Amino acid sequence: MQRRRIALAQLAPRLGRLDENLAVHRDVLAHARADGADLVVFPELGLTGYQLQDLSAEVAMALDDPRLAALAAETTGCSAIVSFVEEAPDHRLFIAAALLEDGALRHVHRKIYLPTYGLFDERRFFAAGQVTRAIPSRLGVPLGLAVCEDFWHLTVPLLLALDGAQILVNVSSSPGRDVAAVNEVGLGTATSWRALLRTYAALTTSFVVFCNRVGVDESVTFWGGSEVIGPDGETIMQAPLHDEGVFMAEIDLADVRRERVTLPLLRDERPEMVRRQLERILRTRADEG
């Protein structure tokens, strides 16, 4: 059996209160480990809250911050993904998601796509990450990390899957909007996300793990609805909308093999062709100015 237990911490972080949020993370980690979780996933900016504006620089942590080390120390025998504002040595600020394992910080993904439109203003306060890569993990298969808007760009899940990821993890602070009655589950944002997550799982024949926060920052309410989707696109676990809590899912890693043997979509990907077309498109766009 290749079963793994995943705990999704659908929390409501307190805006700008790093110490309080750290304490909650430690508590959730301890309980999830006691419940046999192999992987504990926390939402985007779970350590700081989302609508930080000028607070971003005040709650930022360098990767060698002792508070991160202390949190990592609580991951003996398990993996955790936590998210915070990272201050780089050159003082750029990133929205970061870090993989902590067996007491150490293993990898940091910096959010690549920073929405700066509509109700979002991330580019004003943060620098954009440049790298997406699959990372080995103690779970036995590589993980692919992404933060919220990273999943509104098709290339991210594709690149992660091509790089070997078998579990794609997206951590989010997605603000709920559009309560029109025609929406499935009454919320437009939930409807769109659910379609994306299932599509990515099915097309990359990978597990997709989505952890979205709840609670309120300023005007916006984050809708939760965290979930785990199997490599066939079917729902394995779905957390309720808006309720705070830690939700457990169990996955069987053998499902990836079964699905990929049955439906060898990744085998048939054509990365060289994609590269040639991208190079042509880039040349054309450069010529056009």
Partner 1 sequence: MALFELPPELAIDTAVARRIMVGFIRGQLRQAGFERALLGLSGGIDSAVVAFLVAEAIGPERLLCALLPYRTSSEASLEDARSVVDRLGCASRVVDISSIVDGYFEGALGPDGAAASSLRRGNFMARARMAVLYDLSVVWGGLVVGTGNKTEVLIGYTTHFGDDACAFDPVGDLYKSQLRQVAVDLGIPERIITKPPSADLWPGQTDEAEVGFSYAELDRLLYWMVDRRRSAEELAERGFDPRFVERVARMVAGAEFKRQVPPIAKLGPRTSGVDYLYPRRRPAPGS
3 state SS of 155: helix
Q: Does 119 bind partner 1 (CB under 8 A)?
A: no
The answer to whether 148 is a known catalytic residue is yes
| Residues in contact with partner 1, shown as a per-residue x/- string from 187 to 216 under the rule CB under 8 A | x---------------------------xx
Q: Taking the complex as a whole, how short is the minimal distance between the CB of residue 50 and partner 1, in angstroms? A: 10
Catalytic residue, chosen from 78, 86, 111, 122, is 111
Q: Taking the complex as a whole, how short is the minimal distance between the CB of residue 48 and partner 1, in angstroms? A: 11
Q: Taking the complex as a whole, how short is the minimal distance between the CB of residue 6 and partner 1, in angstroms? A: 26
The answer to whether 111 is a known catalytic residue is yes
Q: Does 185 bind partner 1 (CB under 8 A)?
A: yes
Nearest of 81, 285, 268 to residue 167 by alpha carbon: 81
Tokens of 99: 């993989």
Catalytic residue, chosen from 148, 149, 211, 259, is 148
Contact indicator for 206, 234 with CB cutoff of 8 Å: no
Interface with partner 1 by CB under 8 A: which range of 74-82, 152-160, 172-180, 271-279? 172-180
Nearest of 280, 274, 271, 2 to residue 163 by alpha carbon: 271
Q: Taking the complex as a whole, how short is the minimal distance between the CB of residue 127 and partner 1, in angstroms? A: 18
The answer to whether 272 is a known catalytic residue is no
Contacts of 215 (CB under 8 A, 6+ apart): 11, 12, 13, 221, 222, 244
Q: Does 16 bind partner 1 (CB under 8 A)?
A: yes
Which residue in the block uniquely carries the two structure tokens 């939402």?
A: 43
Query: Which of 2, 53, 76, 277 is the binder for partner 1 (CB under 8 A)?
Result: 53
Contact indicator for 94, 86 with CB cutoff of 8 Å: yes
Contact indicator for 112, 126 with CB cutoff of 8 Å: no
Q: Taking the complex as a whole, how short is the minimal distance between the CB of residue 221 and partner 1, in angstroms? A: 5
HEC states along 196-259?
Answer: HHHHHHHHHCCEEEEEECEEEECCEEEEECCEEECCCCCEEEECCECCCEEEEEEEECHHHHHH
Query: Which of 27, 58, 234, 250 is the binder for partner 1 (CB under 8 A)?
Result: 58
* Catalytic sites, residue numbers: 44, 111, 148
- The residues that touch partner 1, with contacts defined as CB under 8 A, are 12, 14-17, 19-20, 51-55, 58, 176, 179-183, 185-187, 215-218, 221, 241-242
